[in-house]
Structure 1
Amino acid sequence: MAMPSVPELLIILAIVVLLFGAKKIPDLAKGLGSGIKNFKKAVKDDEEDEANTQNVANKEVENKQNIKESVDIKEEEKAKKA
């Protein structure tokens, strides 16, 4: 899909001015900007949460492996004593 050219953008801008009025355009732009900012923040927070969840899962797997190794070592020691 091609980007609109300059004349097309000017026509769109003129229609927006006619629909909303020149006084409301800054408010609309401000609202749009804050919406984009909030969206980016939410995406960043979600990525951080996902990374934290993955770290916790990796630590749990590592702990399970350490416990299994400890149990295996104790079983080997018992087998040697018997």
Structure 2
Amino acid sequence: MNFLFISGAEIFFILFIVVMVFGADKLPGIAKGLGKGMRQLRDATDDIKREIQNSADKQGLNTDFTKDIKKEIDDVKKNVEEVTGTIKRGAK
């Protein structure tokens, strides 16, 4: 297994160090906290998109700029998911 230029032995070593530092009993709590944080971030971005769309619809504005904002938010969301995906894969 060669993922992101890290071999299986190196991943195992990193996980071993993580277990030694945090302890096996705290790892599920850490993973749960990361999951909650990601969910809150996703909910916040969805709320922002919804508010922007509702404001534009109420004011009868041209929604082309909201599509641009939505694209930017989606790009940021994708970047955050890439980072958290790396963290998730490292925690497995």
User: Which has the larger strand fraction?
Assistant: 2
Where structure 2 has 5 or more consecutive residues not aligned to the other structure, the ranges are 62-92
SS in 2 for 1:50: helix
Q: CA RMSD in A?
A: 1.8
Which of 11, 14, 39 aligns to 1:12? It is: 14
| 1:68 counterpart residue number | none
CA distance in 2: counterparts of 1:29 and 1:16, whole angstroms: 12
Where structure 1 has 5 or more consecutive residues not aligned to the other structure, the ranges are 60-82
| 1:26 counterpart residue number | 28
TM-score of the aligned structures, taking structure 1 as reference length? 0.61
TM-score of the aligned structures, taking structure 2 as reference length? 0.55
CA distance in 2: counterparts of 1:7 and 1:39, whole angstroms: 33
| 2:51 counterpart residue number | 49
User: Which has the larger helix fraction?
Assistant: 1
1:9: how far off?
2.2
- Provide closer, same or farther for how the CA distance between residues 53 and 25 of structure 1 changes in structure 2, counting only shifts above 3 A: same
SS in 2 for 1:48: helix
Which structure would you say has the larger RCO, counting Cα contacts within 8 Å and 6 or more residues apart?
2
Aligned residues: 58
Deviations 1:39-77 (A, max 9, x none): 111111111011111112216xxxxxxxxxxxxxxxxxx
